[in-house]
């Protein structure tokens, strides 16, 4: 009887630690944009969760990433409505303009291109969502044509350049 109680307590404790794993992983990813291995090992140690279990969680949930991403994360919707409205061409134009394959990050870490099944905004098809990792902003662009894509990419380039000027200006002030 005592043994059953002990097992129940152990089981409950383990469940609580495993439940804490997902929020911990979300916090790490919120900070770094992905989950660095060193941080993953540290959180597993702190929560007493096997590393293999943590990896199974990370690979199960599409939200988690184990590789660094670019400043801008560009998601092209590949759902049916967007496909019908030309998201395949949009993805081609985007990957060609950035010189990066889908699910990859460009060399300067300015952009990562990803695809998703459906954003739930089918009336706006084709849809492109841009997440700015630096400003922590997310923008949804609908009915994205080739011209509109060019203007979006030029806007993102301007944002990068103006942010870089701010950083350089701040460095000049502190030098
Ligand atoms: S199919 Fe693209 S938003 Fe639904």
Q: Which of 8-12, 14-18, 145-149 has the lowest average pLDDT?
A: 8-12
pLDDT beyond 80 at 2: no
pTM: 0.76
Render pLDDT for 31-59 as a digit per residue (tens, 0 to 9): 888 999 999 999 999 999 999 999 999 99
Render pLDDT for 25-37 as a digit per residue (tens, 0 to 9): 999 998 888 999 9
3-state secondary structure 45-112: HHHCCCHHHHHHHHHHCCCCCCCCCCCEEEEEECCHHHHHCCHHHHHHHHHHHHCCCCCCECCCCCEE
pLDDT at residue 4 in the model: 38
pLDDT at residue 168 in the model: 64
In sequence order, the 6+-apart residues with CB closer than 8 A to the CB of 105 are 67, 68, 69, 70, 111, 112
Candidate of 127, 128, 129, 140 to mutate for ligand 1, largest count of ligand atoms within 8 Å of Cβ: 127
CA 84 – ligand 1 centroid, Å:
10
Q: Which of 26-35, 131-140, 160-169 has the lowest average pLDDT?
A: 160-169
pLDDT beyond 60 at 1: no
CA 66 – ligand 1 centroid, Å:
26
In ligand 1, the atom with minimum distance to the C-alpha of 83 is 1
């Amino acid at each position: 009887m005592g043994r059953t109680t002990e097992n129940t307590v152990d089981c409950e404790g383990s469940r609580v630690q495993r439940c804490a794993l997902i929020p911990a992983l979300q916090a790490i990813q919120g900070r770094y944009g992905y989950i660095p291995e060193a941080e993953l090992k540290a959180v597993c140690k702190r929560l007493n969760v096997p590393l293999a279990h943590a990896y199974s969680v990370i690979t199960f949930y599409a939200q988690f990433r184990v590789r660094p991403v670019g400043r801008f994360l560009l998601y092209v919707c590949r759902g049916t409505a967007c496909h019908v409205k030309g998201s395949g061409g949009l993805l081609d134009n985007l990957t060609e303009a950035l010189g990066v394959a889908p699910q990859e990050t460009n060399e300067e870490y300015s952009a990562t291109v990803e695809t998703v099944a459906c954003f739930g905004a089918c009336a706006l098809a084709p849809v492109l969502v841009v997440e700015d990792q630096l400003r922590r902003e997310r923008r949804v662009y609908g009915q994205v044509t080739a011209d509109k894509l060019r203007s979006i990419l030029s806007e993102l380039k301007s944002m990068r350049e103006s942010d870089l000027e701010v950083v350089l200006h701040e460095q000049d002030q502190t030098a």
